[in-house]
Amino acid sequence: MAEKSNEEKLFTEFPPVSTADWEAAIAKDLKGADYEKKLVWKTLEGFNVRPYYRSEDLKNIPTAQVKPGEFPYVRGKNINGNPWLIRQDFDVCLDQPTDANRKALELLNKGVESLGFKLSSDCEPTFDSVSRLLKDIDLNKIEINFTGGTATAKALPFIVKYLEQSKYDSKKIRMSIDYSPLSTLALKGKFCCENDANYVGLASVLNEAKNFPNARVIGANGAVFHNSGSSIVQELGFSLAMANDYLTALIDQGYSIDDVAPHIRFNFSVSSNYFMEIAKFRAARLLWAKLVDAYGAKQKVSKQMNIHAETSRWNMTVYDPYVNMLRSTTESMSAVLAGVDSLNVLPFDTAFSEPTAFSERIARNQQILLKEESYFGKIVDPAAGSYYVENLTVSIAERAWEIFLNVDEMGGFREAFVKGYIQQQITETANKRNKNIASKREILLGTNQYPNFTEVIDPKVEPEAIKGQTHQKPEDAIAEPLVAYRGAQAFEELRYNTDKSSHKPKVFMLSLGNLAMRRARAQFSCNFFAVAGFEVIDNIGFKTVDEGIKAALDAKSDIVVICSSDDEYANLAPEAFEKLNGKAIFVVAGDPACKSDLEAKGISNYINVKSNLLETLKQYQSMLNI
Between the CA atoms of 579, 582, 587 and 592, what dihedral angle is there, to the nearest 10 degrees? 60
The reply to whether 179 falls in a domain is yes
pLDDT bin (cut points 50, 70, 90) of residue 422 is very high
pLDDT for 5 equals 56
Quick one: which of 145, 146, 144, 89 has its CA closest to 123? Answer: 146
For the chain, the domain total comes to 2
CA-based end-to-end distance of the chain: 76
Quick one: which of 343, 346, 333 has its CA closest to 376? Answer: 333
Q: What is the mean pLDDT of residues 446-468?
A: 91
Q: pLDDT digits over 14-65, tens only?
A: 888 999 999 999 999 999 999 999 999 999 999 999 999 999 999 999 999 9
The reply to whether 419 falls in a domain is no
Q: What is the mean pLDDT of residues 91-102?
A: 95
Prediction pTM value: 0.94
H, E, C per residue of 63-98: HHHCCCCCCCCCCCCCCCCCCCEEEEEEEECCCCHH
Pair (125, 242) in one structural domain:
yes
Quick one: which of 478, 398, 442 has its CA closest to 233? Answer: 398
Boundary (domain end) residue, out of 361, 383, 409: 409
Quick one: which of 612, 614, 562 has its CA closest to 592? Answer: 562
Task: Please say whether the beta carbons of 345 and 332 come within 8 A.
Answer: yes
Residues 6 or more apart whose CB falls under 8 angstroms from that of 168 comprise 138, 139, 140
Residue 307: count other Cβ atoms within 10 Å of its Cβ: 23
Q: What is d(CA 276, CA 289) in angstroms, rounded to the nearest whole number?
A: 20
Residues 6 or more apart whose CB falls under 8 angstroms from that of 409 comprise none
Q: What is d(CA 413, CA 407) in angstroms, rounded to the nearest whole number?
A: 6
pLDDT for 6 equals 61
Q: What is the mean pLDDT of residues 245-269?
A: 98
Pair (509, 392) in one structural domain:
no
The reply to whether 346 falls in a domain is yes
Q: What is d(CA 80, CA 577) in angstroms, rounded to the nearest whole number?
A: 70
pLDDT for 475 equals 86
Structural domain boundaries enclosing 572: 501-623
Q: pLDDT digits over 567-599, tens only?
A: 999 999 999 999 999 999 999 999 999 999 999
Pair (132, 268) in one structural domain:
yes
Boundary (domain end) residue, out of 361, 378, 409: 409
pLDDT bin (cut points 50, 70, 90) of residue 1 is very low
Higher pLDDT, 78 or 15: 78
Pair (107, 255) in one structural domain:
yes
Half-sphere exposure of 26 (CA within 13 A, CB side): 15
The reply to whether 428 falls in a domain is no
Pair (217, 329) in one structural domain:
yes
* Domain harbouring 93, CATH code: 3.20.20.240
Pair (268, 140) in one structural domain:
yes
pLDDT for 47 equals 95
Return the percentage of the chain with pLDDT > 90, whole number: 92
pLDDT for 506 equals 98
Residue 205 pLDDT greater than 70, yes or no: yes
Q: What is d(CA 120, CA 134) in angstroms, rounded to the nearest whole number?
A: 16
Residue 78: count other Cβ atoms within 10 Å of its Cβ: 17
pLDDT for 7 equals 65
Q: What is the mean pLDDT of residues 262-290?
A: 98
Return the percentage of the chain with pLDDT > 70, whole number: 99
Q: What is the mean pLDDT of residues 373-382?
A: 96
The reply to whether 310 falls in a domain is yes
CA angle 108, 110, 115 (to 5 degrees): 35
Task: Please say whether the beta carbons of 226 and 239 come within 8 A.
Answer: no
pLDDT for 119 equals 95
Residue 318 pLDDT greater than 60, yes or no: yes
Maximum CA extent, the chain: 87
Pair (404, 507) in one structural domain:
no
Q: What is d(CA 620, CA 528) in angstroms, rounded to the nearest whole number?
A: 12
| Average pLDDT along the chain | 95
* Domain harbouring 519, CATH code: 3.40.50.280
Q: pLDDT digits over 430-439, tens only?
A: 999 999 999 9
Task: Please say whether the beta carbons of 144 and 175 come within 8 A.
Answer: yes
- Phi and psi at 439, nearest 5°, equal -100, 5
pLDDT for 333 equals 98
Boundary (domain end) residue, out of 409, 443, 465: 409
Residue 4 pLDDT greater than 70, yes or no: no
pLDDT for 122 equals 86
Quick one: which of 195, 122, 129 has its CA closest to 159? Answer: 129
The reply to whether 364 falls in a domain is yes
The reply to whether 487 falls in a domain is no
Pair (539, 397) in one structural domain:
no
